[in-house]
């Protein structure tokens, strides 16, 4: 689970990692109040789970109430790389002398934790990794040993962190490691970690990915969950017990079984299309589950065609077909549906669909044929 910046900062606070005081706002009025509470100058920051918010206009420094109002009006509702801003984080602005980078993540190949530190923070770290790889210092950490303060200090020195910031950075590294390990994160990243003219080191941004497999021992994560999903659709899918992951494309995908869903994504790509989601109905999916899946996908504006790919095993195709007929009597689909049914009771299933004579429903016999047909529909829409 990816956390928003403000949630990441809340998480940091549990491990004593210094951040600026601030608060969240969901409206212009709240934003003005939070800016006043934080004290001017303040920073108004878009809460979206995507980097480069600054460049996209999602971060503004404000000096008074009027500017706070204008910034909030501008940023709320702003679309940053497909993420619409619904919430702001507002904190007291920091004076920046230097911007650094610090992170812990899991190096799966090495089977060790990996610390990364750079004196070149604030900018896109992936870019630094390409243009100036030497500027990022790495240290592998055995989880049994952990990282000591002295090791952290050495790492900071080798990364070229300024003398006056060394102790502060080492201190943050040790705490960030605790946050990452005890906090069961897959990633804990601070970019920028700043040095102020007063000589203080603190986190100006927070990127935390929690390890979902550890959720059972963190009941407190529930508080993050309600709001941390990209959109209401993922929450809706979760309520309906569907295995759903939102993507960026235009072909809505429904399949039974994770493997078939993955293959469907591949086949759509292969014929020049892009998937809007991954959706696995699970085994033995009946009519109610199919209705739920169509309902979820129907709320996605990016979807231009739905591709239903069912291989009947435990799941019987006639059940699936009934589900589609049922669903279409209650849900008005925004886009056409291409259906491929194969396996158990496929003939019965196809007959049910044919008899129902549903508008906007196209039946294909093969997976590749269905994918091609779906992509054609998207292309026809684009050329109109």
| Interacting residue ranges for Mn ion, rule: CB under 5 A | 191, 205
Chain centroid, CA 369 distance in Å: 32
What's the min distance (Å) between Cβ of 194 and Mn ion?
11
Segment near ligand GDP (CB under 6 A); pick from 27-35, 88-96, 170-178, 232-240 = 88-96
Among 9, 53, 233, 350, binds ligand GDP (CB under 6 A): 53
User: 52 vs 143, which CB is nearer to ligand GDP?
Assistant: 52
For residue 279, state whether it binds ligand GDP (rule: CB under 6 A).
no
For residue 96, state whether it binds ligand GDP (rule: CB under 6 A).
yes
* 101 is annotated as an active-site residue: yes
Q: Which does 305 bind (CB under 5 to 8 A by kind): ligand GDP, Mn ion, none?
A: none
β-partners of residue 307 are: 253, 338
What's the min distance (Å) between Cβ of 208 and Mn ion?
12
For residue 34, state whether it binds ligand GDP (rule: CB under 6 A).
no
User: 168 vs 336, which CB is nearer to ligand GDP?
Assistant: 168
For residue 307, state whether it binds ligand GDP (rule: CB under 6 A).
no
Would you state the torsion angle of the CA atoms of residues 91, 95, 190, 38, taken in this order, to the nearest 10 degrees? -10
Q: Is the peptide bond before 192 cis (omega within 30 degrees of 0)?
A: yes
Catalytic residue among 5, 67, 189, 304: 189
For residue 260, state whether it binds ligand GDP (rule: CB under 6 A).
no
Beta carbons within 8 Å of 283's beta carbon, 6+ residues apart: 256, 257, 313, 314, 315
What's the min distance (Å) between Cβ of 300 and ligand GDP?
25
Q: Which does 259 bind (CB under 5 to 8 A by kind): Mn ion, ligand GDP, none?
A: none
For residue 60, state whether it binds ligand GDP (rule: CB under 6 A).
no
- The bridge status of strand 136-141 relative to strand 79-80 is unpaired
Beta carbons within 8 Å of 282's beta carbon, 6+ residues apart: 241, 242, 243, 256, 257, 289
User: 121 vs 312, which CB is nearer to Mn ion?
Assistant: 121
Among 21, 29, 39, 52, binds ligand GDP (CB under 6 A): 52
Burial bucket for residue 332 (CB in 10 Å: 0-12, 13-18, 19+): exposed
Cβ distance 296 to 236 under 8 Å?
yes
Beta carbons within 8 Å of 165's beta carbon, 6+ residues apart: 98, 100, 156, 195, 199, 201
Q: Which does 245 bind (CB under 5 to 8 A by kind): Mn ion, ligand GDP, none?
A: none
What's the min distance (Å) between Cβ of 96 and Mn ion?
12
- Restricting to residues 116-175, name those near ligand GDP by CB under 6 A: 122
Dist CA 142 CA 54 (whole Å) = 35
Dist CA 101 CA 120 (whole Å) = 7
Q: Which long-range contacts (CB under 8 A, 24 or more apart) does 142-149 make?
A: 142/112, 142/113, 143/112, 143/113, 143/181, 146/177, 146/181, 147/115, 147/173, 147/174, 147/177, 148/174, 149/174
What's the min distance (Å) between Cβ of 176 and ligand GDP?
16
User: 191 vs 335, which CB is nearer to ligand GDP?
Assistant: 191
Q: Which does 129 bind (CB under 5 to 8 A by kind): Mn ion, ligand GDP, none?
A: none
For residue 24, state whether it binds ligand GDP (rule: CB under 6 A).
no
What's the min distance (Å) between Cβ of 22 and Mn ion?
15
For residue 223, state whether it binds ligand GDP (rule: CB under 6 A).
no
For residue 59, state whether it binds ligand GDP (rule: CB under 6 A).
yes
For residue 23, state whether it binds ligand GDP (rule: CB under 6 A).
no
Residue with tokens 């494309």: 249
What's the min distance (Å) between Cβ of 12 and ligand GDP?
13
Cα first-last separation, the chain: 39
Quick one: angle between helices 258-270 and 367-383, nearest 10? 50
Output DSSP code: residue 241: T
Catalytic residue among 6, 11, 100, 101: 101
Binding-site ranges for ligand GDP (CB under 6 A): 43, 51-54, 59, 93-94, 96, 99, 122, 191-192, 204-205
Residues designated as active site: 101, 189
């Amino acid at each position: 689970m990816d956390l928003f910046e403000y949630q990441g900062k809340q998480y940091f606070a549990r491990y004593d990692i210094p951040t600026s005081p601030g608060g969240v706002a969901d409206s212009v009025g709240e934003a003005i109040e939070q800016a006043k509470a934080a004290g001017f100058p303040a920073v108004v920051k878009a809460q979206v789970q995507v980097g480069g918010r600054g460049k996209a206009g999602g971060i503004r420094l404000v000096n008074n109430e009027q500017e706070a109002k204008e910034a909030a009006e501008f940023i709320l509702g702003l679309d940053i790389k497909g993420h619409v801003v619904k919430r702001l984080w507002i904190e007291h602005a920091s004076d920046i002398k230097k911007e650094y980078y610090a992170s812990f993540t899991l190096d799966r190949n090495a089977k060790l934790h990996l610390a990364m530190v750079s004196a070149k923070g604030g900018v896109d770290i992936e870019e630094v990794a390409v243009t100036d790889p030497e500027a990022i210092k790495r240290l592998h950490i055995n989880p049994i040993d952990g990282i000591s303060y002295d090791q952290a200090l050495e790492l900071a020195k080798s990364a070229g962190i300024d003398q006056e910031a060394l102790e502060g950075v080492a201190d943050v590294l040790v705490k960030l490691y605790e946050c990452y390990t005890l906090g069961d994160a897959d990633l804990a990243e601070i970019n920028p970690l700043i040095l102020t003219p007063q000589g203080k080191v603190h986190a100006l941004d927070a990127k935390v990915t929690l390890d979902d497999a550890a959720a059972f021992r963190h009941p407190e994560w529930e508080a993050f969950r309600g709001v941390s999903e990209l959109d209401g659709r993922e929450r809706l899918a979760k309520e309906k017990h569907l295995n759903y992951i939102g993507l960026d494309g235009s072909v809505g995908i429904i399949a039974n079984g994770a493997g078939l869903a993955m293959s469907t994504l591949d086949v759509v790509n292969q014929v020049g299309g892009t998937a809007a989601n991954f959706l696995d109905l699970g085994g033995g999916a009946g009519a109610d589950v199919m209705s739920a899946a169509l309902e979820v996908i129907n709320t996605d504006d990016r979807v231009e065609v739905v591709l239903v790919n069912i291989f009947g095993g435990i799941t019987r195709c006639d059940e699936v077909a009934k589900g589609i007929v049922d669903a279409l009597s209650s849900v008005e689909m925004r886009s056409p549906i291409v259906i491929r049914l194969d396996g158990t009771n496929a003939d019965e299933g196809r007959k049910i669909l044919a008899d129902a004579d549903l508008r906007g429903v196209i039946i294909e016999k093969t997976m590749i044929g269905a994918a091609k047909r779906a992509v054609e529909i998207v292309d026809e829409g684009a050329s109109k």
